[in-house]
Chains A and B, each alone.
Chain A
Amino acid sequence: MSRREVAQRHGEVAPGPDEPVPSPGAVEQTTVTSTPASTPALPPKPSRVTATLAAVATGAVVLAATAGLNISWTELGDVPGRVVEYLLLMFADPNWEKLPRALFETWRSISMAWLGAIGCVVVSIPLGMLAASGMGPAWLRVGLRAIFAVIRAVPEVIIALVLLTVTGLTPFTGALALGIAGIGTQSKWVYEAVESAPTGATEAVRAAGGSTAEIARWAIWPAVAPVLMSFALYRCEINIRTSAVLGLVGAGGIGSMLSNYTNYREWDTVGMLLIVVVVITMVFDLISGSIRRRIMEGARVRDVDRTR
């Protein structure tokens, strides 16, 4: 590997926040132009100044960030040993006695996730439709999109912390927080789906004299309903993960239990809880993923697989 390629890789390995990433085509370009420049027919080598500068700047940002972390790197050698020690404490002999309680709390987390997803989807479908171009008036569209952007930027935990003062430390707070926090992203998906739907049916309904509401019902809805259902399931998957997080701030569910037993330093129970969280999340993803594929791609077609 030549030195130039090394430098180039370095640049592509760590794209920082404020400089352009070298374009992917650059790799092929180097190999093409690396023949000796003696033949006059070849075009001049493209300038690599920008890419090199970007790579150097990225490296500098990463180095500065790493140096600014305040981590005592000499102690870093102990970390793997400590992690292994705790992993043994957690998983060598998980404490299965608390499993019934854990499953109860898991159901609470799933309930939070489910109700939160329903609330979120029910609110975001009409709002997202209004925010799609061609549906609502322009002022409403801009306003709604600004609101969605703000909600997207506020972490769920902070929404939960505000809601705690209204509904107390209950799972209901968790469900509400999940519902509100999801509106930002979910509505964005809705208006993007509506905008990318084929326009033929919309024009047909409009030509037949339909109002905007009738367009939404008879042209947009049939076109985007499968995508929206798939997004709704995806929201549920996300919520399952987030509900564990909300538990950490006291909204109840498996997260609260995990946080408590971590604080008690009862590692065998923590290990059991982690196993439960991982298994439930993976099973839920599996079910939801297969339903989503069924919605989006229809039943499996019996056909010869020509891809391999």
Chain B
Amino acid sequence: MVVALCAFTALTCWPAIGGVEIDLAGLVRNWSNGADKIAQLLRPDLTFLPRTVAPMLETLAMAVAGAAFAAIISIPLTLAAARPSNPNPLTRQLVRFCINVNRAVPDLVFATVLVAMVGVGTLPGFLTLFLFDLGVVVKLVSEAVDSADHPYLEAGTAAGGTQAQINRATVLPQSWPLFANQWLYSLELNVRISAILGIVGAGGIGRLLDERRGFFAYDDVSVIILEILVVVVVIEVISNALRRRLR
């Protein structure tokens, strides 16, 4: 076991087959470059702050709208992807497969391709977040529904309800906390991701960040990073508080 792990690690460090060339000497040699950058980043130019407000609001709007639309669509898809609510193996596996493929595409890759498809702006950002959230919510909630106990469901079947009636009357009510939990989580992730989506042209604060970095205006970049930090932490605190209420 240990030998196999060591061999695998060794292979990953072999540049000839694509491995990473570990360049510790370069790290020491160019240390001052990074230290300079960090020193510049530590001197934020707060007069830049007003210009970041509009893009930040755009970022938040993308995050909220993406999470909200994904939340609505996630309900039928989750029911279709969980065994208790969809006994038909064919459609269940089909939905699961689509969700797994969707989840395997990294967020920024979605954004890059979508920017090329539908043009620069908030639309590709919104679509990226929507698809990403759909993957997260459907996967996690349908697995939770799968592993939960379903005595009510059996009662519904015994009472002769159709699958739609059973889903409506038993599966959904006991899944709302799971849903709400994941919706909040996806909103949290969205704020994080949407901040960098702009780097590939998908609108929001990331575009401003990329632009200021292009001008080597590191004092402005540092203001933007600080702002992202504050917003992410605030959203996280709010979302954690709401989620504690859910339990």
Asked whether B196 lies within 8 Å of A157 as measured between CB atoms, the reply is: yes
Asked whether A70 lies within 8 Å of B180 as measured between CB atoms, the reply is: no
Q: Known A-B contacts: A107-B18, A114-B12, A245-B108. Give 4 more (CB < 8 A).
A: A71-B122, A79-B118, A172-B23, A242-B106
Q: Which of B8, B21, B33, B200 contacts A114 (CB 8 A)?
A: B8
The reply on A6 being an interface residue by CB < 8 A is no
The reply on B215 being an interface residue by CB < 8 A is no
Asked whether A115 lies within 8 Å of B106 as measured between CB atoms, the reply is: no
Stretch of B43-51, B159-167, B232-240 with 4 or more beta carbons under 8 angstroms from chain A:
B232-240
Q: Which of B64, B232, B242 has the most A CB atoms < 10 Å from its CB?
A: B64
Asked whether A111 lies within 8 Å of B68 as measured between CB atoms, the reply is: no
Report the minimal beta-carbon distance from A151 to chain B, rounded to whole angstroms.
10
Stretch of A19-27, A189-197, A205-213, A217-225 with 4 or more beta carbons under 8 angstroms from chain B:
A19-27
Asked whether B121 lies within 8 Å of A12 as measured between CB atoms, the reply is: no
Stretch of A35-43, A59-67, A129-137, A297-305 with 4 or more beta carbons under 8 angstroms from chain B:
A59-67
The reply on A140 being an interface residue by CB < 8 A is no
Query: How far apart sit A166 and B23, CA to CA, in the bound complex (Å)?
Result: 11
Supposing A23-B246, A165-B37, A259-B112 touch, asked if A245 and B107 sit within 8 A by C-beta, the answer is yes
Report the minimal beta-carbon distance from B48 to chain A, rounded to whole angstroms.
16
Query: How far apart sit A12 and B213, CA to CA, in the bound complex (Å)?
Result: 40
Interface size on A, residues (CB 8 A): 76
Asked whether B64 lies within 8 Å of A24 as measured between CB atoms, the reply is: no
Supposing A13-B75, A249-B199 touch, asked if A171 and B21 sit within 8 A by C-beta, the answer is yes
Q: Which A residues from 81 to 137 make CB contacts under 8 A with B?
A: 82-83, 86, 104-108, 110-112, 114-115, 118
Asked whether A15 lies within 8 Å of B58 as measured between CB atoms, the reply is: no
Supposing A107-B18, A165-B33, A166-B34 touch, asked if A153 and B104 sit within 8 A by C-beta, the answer is no
Q: Which B residues from 85 to 127 make CB contacts under 8 A with A?
A: 100-101, 104-109, 112-113, 116-118, 121-123, 126
Q: Which residue of B lies closest to A90 (CB)?
A: B113
Residues of B close to A262: CB separation below 8 A? 112-113, 116
Asked whether B20 lies within 8 Å of A111 as measured between CB atoms, the reply is: yes
Asked whether A107 lies within 8 Å of B17 as measured between CB atoms, the reply is: yes
Supposing A61-B64, A153-B233, A165-B34 touch, asked if A20 and B242 sit within 8 A by C-beta, the answer is yes
Report the minimal beta-carbon distance from B135 to chain A, rounded to whole angstroms.
11
Q: Which B residues from 136 to 183 make CB contacts under 8 A with A?
A: 173-174, 176-177, 179-180, 183
Q: Which residue of A lies closest to B38 (CB)?
A: A162
The reply on B3 being an interface residue by CB < 8 A is no
Residues of B close to A216: CB separation below 8 A? none
Asked whether A65 lies within 8 Å of B60 as measured between CB atoms, the reply is: yes
Q: Which of A18, A158, A167, A277 contacts B104 (CB 8 A)?
A: A277
Supposing A69-B62, A111-B20 touch, asked if A155 and B196 sit within 8 A by C-beta, the answer is yes
Q: Which of A82, A167, A174, A277 contacts B23 (CB 8 A)?
A: A167
Residues of A close to B199: CB separation below 8 A? 157, 248-249
Asked whether A277 lies within 8 Å of B233 as measured between CB atoms, the reply is: no
The reply on A161 being an interface residue by CB < 8 A is yes
Q: Which of B62, B100, B117 contacts A282 (CB 8 A)?
A: B100
The reply on A226 being an interface residue by CB < 8 A is no
Asked whether A172 lies within 8 Å of B20 as measured between CB atoms, the reply is: yes
The reply on A46 being an interface residue by CB < 8 A is no
The reply on B192 being an interface residue by CB < 8 A is yes
Asked whether A162 lies within 8 Å of B34 as measured between CB atoms, the reply is: yes
Query: How far apart sit A26 and B233, CA to CA, in the bound complex (Å)?
Result: 30
Residues of A close to B109: CB separation below 8 A? 244-245, 248, 255, 258, 274, 277
The reply on B53 being an interface residue by CB < 8 A is no
Residues of B close to A154: CB separation below 8 A? 225, 228-229
Query: How far apart sit A86 and B124, CA to CA, in the bound complex (Å)?
Result: 14
Report the minimal beta-carbon distance from B240 to chain A, rounded to whole angstroms.
12
Residues of A close to B176: CB separation below 8 A? 12, 24, 27
Q: Fill in one digit per residue for B210-247: 1 if any A CB lies within 8 Å of its CB, else 0.
A: 00010000000000010011001101001100100110
Asked whether A65 lies within 8 Å of B64 as measured between CB atoms, the reply is: yes
Residues of A close to B232: CB separation below 8 A? 153
Give me the 10 closest cross-chain CB pairs, A-B, nearest first: A111-B12, A166-B34, A65-B64, A107-B18, A281-B104, A65-B61, A68-B61, A108-B18, A278-B104, A245-B108
Report the minimal beta-carbon distance from B109 to chain A, rounded to whole angstroms.
6
Report the minimal beta-carbon distance from A251 to chain B, rounded to whole angstroms.
10
25 pairs, A vs B, C-beta closer than 8 Å: A14-B183, A24-B176, A65-B63, A65-B68, A69-B58, A71-B123, A71-B126, A82-B117, A104-B17, A114-B9, A114-B12, A115-B22, A157-B108, A158-B225, A165-B37, A166-B33, A167-B27, A170-B21, A170-B23, A244-B108, A245-B109, A248-B108, A248-B200, A274-B105, A278-B101
